[in-house]
Structure 1
Amino acid sequence: MSFQSTEHYIVSDELALAVNAAVTLEKPLLIKGEPGTGKTRLAEELAQTLGAELISWPIKSTTKAQHGLYEYDAVSRLRDSQLGSDKVHDIGNYIRPGKLWQAFTAEQRPVLLIDEIDKADIEFPNDLLYELDRMAFYVHETGEEVAAKQRPIVIITSNNEKELPDAFLRRCFFHYIRFPDAALLTEIVGVHFPNIQQQLLSTALEVFFELRELPNLKKKPSTSELLDWLKLLLAEDIPAEVLQDKQQKGGLMPMFGALLKNEQDVALVEKLAFMARRR
């Protein structure tokens, strides 16, 4: 397999190499990077390229590793026993397969996305080591073993909010998505807005990168936020001259709410604009 950029998703050569290496090694691909750099989208595009099923497991702070294997619905079984249902004689009726179970028993090799693993408890990655290594697990209630028919392609994403255990990292192929430079961003924008005027794009990227480089900015705008901003600029038919004027004279850029996501950053940009006007 050789994964490359697609019609709707641009990847760097380094990221394409990482995907292909992880597939060859049959190891989970651990992807880190700023929010909004396309980590989740990578799994979606990979599945589409391969014609494979995408099984997505979004992780929350309350997610446990057991949820990915299966859950035993004891409450439903108790209720059915009180109602005299014949279902209670087969405990398998109350076993709910999790995302790993679905991936292991898929007829064709799927892509399993474990999304934002750093949101879970620190023990969560360690609790998955055995299953990810052996590609099998034991169902205690029924006494059966669920083993993978074929090893799924596993993509694990992290926003780097929490350190992951060394034992877990050792079992993964790792790649950090660096923030795209102007040339790669131009390619990405071209996929989404093929008819955008080059002057508008050039000025917008200049403003965007200047904003990201501001010191003390609490949240730097991401690629996805740049695309949202450009979509608004095009929808409102805002010309490049307006952006250039704001850039030269100081002030908040049009539709700034797509780029700045908290009041501290808005206040910082307003302060810098005021100082620029005084000078």
Structure 2
Amino acid sequence: MTRQSFTSTATYIVAEDLSLAVNAAVTLEKPLLLKGEPGTGKTRLAEELAASLNAPLLRWQIKSTTKAQQGLYEYDAVSRLRDSQLGSDKVHDISNYIKPGKLWQAFTAEQRPVLLIDEIDKADIEFPNDLLHELDQMEFHVYETGEQIVAQQRPIVIITSNNEKELPDAFLRRCFFHYIKFPDADTLRDIVQVHYPDIQKQLLSTALEVFFDVRQMPNVKKKPSTSELIDWLKLLLAEKITPQQLQETKQKGGLMPLFGALLKNEQDVQLVEKLAFMARRRDGS
């Protein structure tokens, strides 16, 4: 197998430790389990990895109702019964009612794909255990047809989790794990420069100060993420907010302009307002 290397590109910034984790998982041929705050780019990483390898991306979005079997295949017995009642010749071939899932598609892809199993922690607690054999052995059995589906080549598997629930130890043993730390100010600058290369340095510096002030507030319920910072900066630029206006708001301790891009619930808005009020009283005394 040719060793792949994944690093930052002109359109995507990846930290060195994350780059090492991706390359290690590819080398070990193990699923890469990514954890981290929502908005830290876990899903985006799979998209960028596929693009950098010029490989197809197969995305399996996990929901609370998702079952592991759906990743293998689904048997549409209802359609077969209906066709049988209508006298269709299709009913004589049961494979007409077998719908391949994302794992089947990944195992039989002509080109080695990147398989993204997104937000695995949303599913039932047994979901990861139900995929142990398939992800480990890269094969499964189709009971209705008697077929054995074996991976032509091991797909690169990226699994993301927002840490909503613990994953089983047996599943974790089969993965290469990496926790995406929240970017520091220098890394965030690099990320912003990719999106807005012409942004004023002073505006960016002041915006980052405000952004980190909010993230470091005690008792904040939902810390703003990288993606929310990008959205906020887009609005600041669209509304032509100057660095001076932003700095003035910061000094007065009021709510930042267009705060709805950063604060996503009323508790956090009230918290910022309360802290701002207390700061103004302290400064006025």
Match of 1:174 in 2: 177
TM-score by length of 1: 0.99
Partner deviation per Cα, 1:111-163 (whole Å, 9 max, x = no partner): 00000000000000000000001100000000000100000000000001110
Match of 2:44 in 1: 41
1:9 deviation in Å?
A: 1.1
After TM superposition, the runs of 4+ consecutive aligned structure 1 residues lying more than 4 A away are none
1:8 deviation in Å?
A: 1.4
Partner deviation per Cα, 1:245-266 (whole Å, 9 max, x = no partner): 1111111000000000000000
Q: Aligned partners of 1:179, 1:191: CA distance in 2, in Å? A: 17
Gaps of 5+ in 1: none
Partner deviation per Cα, 1:87-117 (whole Å, 9 max, x = no partner): 0000000000000000000001000000000
1:164 aligned onto 2:177? no
Which of 137, 144, 148 pairs up with 1:134? 137
Match of 1:62 in 2: 65
Q: Amino acid of the residue matched to residue 124 of structure 2?
A: D
Match of 2:151 in 1: 148
Match of 2:78 in 1: 75
Aligned length: 279
1:110 aligned onto 2:109? no
Match of 2:242 in 1: 239
Q: Aligned partners of 1:101, 1:150: CA distance in 2, in Å? A: 12
1:274 deviation in Å?
A: 1.1
Which of 172, 182, 186 pairs up with 1:183? 186
Which of 210, 214, 219 pairs up with 1:216? 219
1:54 deviation in Å?
A: 0.1
1:277 deviation in Å?
A: 1.5
1:204 aligned onto 2:202? no
RMSD of equivalent CA atoms: 0.4
Q: Aligned partners of 1:210, 1:250: CA distance in 2, in Å? A: 11
1:24 deviation in Å?
A: 0.2
Which of 34, 39, 64 pairs up with 1:31? 34
Match of 1:278 in 2: 281
1:28 deviation in Å?
A: 0.1
Q: Amino acid of the residue matched to residue 78 of structure 2?
A: V
Q: Aligned partners of 1:30, 1:189: CA distance in 2, in Å? A: 26
1:6 deviation in Å?
A: 1.4
TM-score by length of 2: 0.97
